[in-house]
Amino acid sequence: MVRNPVRELQLVVGKLALLLTFAYLLTLLAAMIGVATGNTLPILGYAFLLLPGVAFYISARDAIKLHRADDPEQAKTLLRTCALYGVIGLALLIATGVILNSMGD
């Protein structure tokens, strides 16, 4: 069985996008546990926590479509949006962590 290296790379990028989405969900879970145990979070902090979720949702949705795509052109388009929104979500998640850390001081 011959594997197409381009297709394999597309699948790896899709799996990475799903992994980043899972890491974001774990971050949300940790924030909820922190609030439940008595740590305070400013009201603006909740909005900051939900902001990366939009980018991760688009990235994960396109990653799932990418794994199902048979058309190379459709897969190429999905790869771009999946990778772009995954990077945007990661940048927003890091920025949110920095902002919330500075709010807590």
**Residue 35 or 1, more confident:** 35
55 contact partners, CB below 8 Å, separation of at least 6:
85, 86, 88, 89, 92
Per the structure block, which two tokens stand in for 42?
């400013």
Integer-rounded Cα radius of gyration of the chain: 17
How far is 62 from 79, CA to CA, in rounded Å?
8
Running DSSP on this structure, what letter comes out for residue 38? T
Specify the pLDDT at position 105: 58
Specify the pLDDT at position 39: 85
Q: Residues 68-96: pLDDT tens digits? A: 998 989 999 999 999 999 999 999 999 99
Q: How confident is the model at residue 2 (pLDDT cuts 50, 70, 90)?
A: confident
How far is 32 from 49, CA to CA, in rounded Å?
10
